[in-house]
Amino acid sequence: MRRVSTPSSSPLPEQLATRLRRDAAGLVAAIVQQHDTGEVLMLGWMDDEAVHRTLTSGRVTFWSRSREEYWRKGDTSGHVQHVRSVAVDCDGDALLVRVDQVGAACHTGERTCFDAGGDLGAVVGEPR
């Protein structure tokens, strides 16, 4: 069972640990983007340990909510995410992880999870 970190028990630097706004399960959303094209690849979830591993290893690590374990993108598929930068949003409740994606980002084999999910056909707004 995963222990939810508090800022005082976090492996992260105190300044970052106190800035993050985690959900009830101790997780923060991590949006993954291709660093050179801006293409949004996927959304994953990280606890403090996954953030720490991502910041210190050069590879992206997530917390799997379904399997309740850490997983490093590409260890079984070979579709590795090499970290280029990690930023926190103004509210501290989301991370933007810019990567160099090798192969597909989605577990379905698609380049992005949003290609696999499909467009919802929203009405396109016009600027005034």
Name the band, by pLDDT with cuts 50, 70 and 90, for residue 6. low
pLDDT for the residue numbered 5: 58
pLDDT tens digits, 13-45: 788 888 899 989 999 999 999 999 999 999 999
Q: Among residues 72, 99, 74, 69, which one has the least CA distance to residue 87?
A: 99
In contact, 95 and 89? CB cutoff 8 Å? yes
Q: Among residues 122, 97, 120, which one has the least CA distance to residue 42?
A: 97
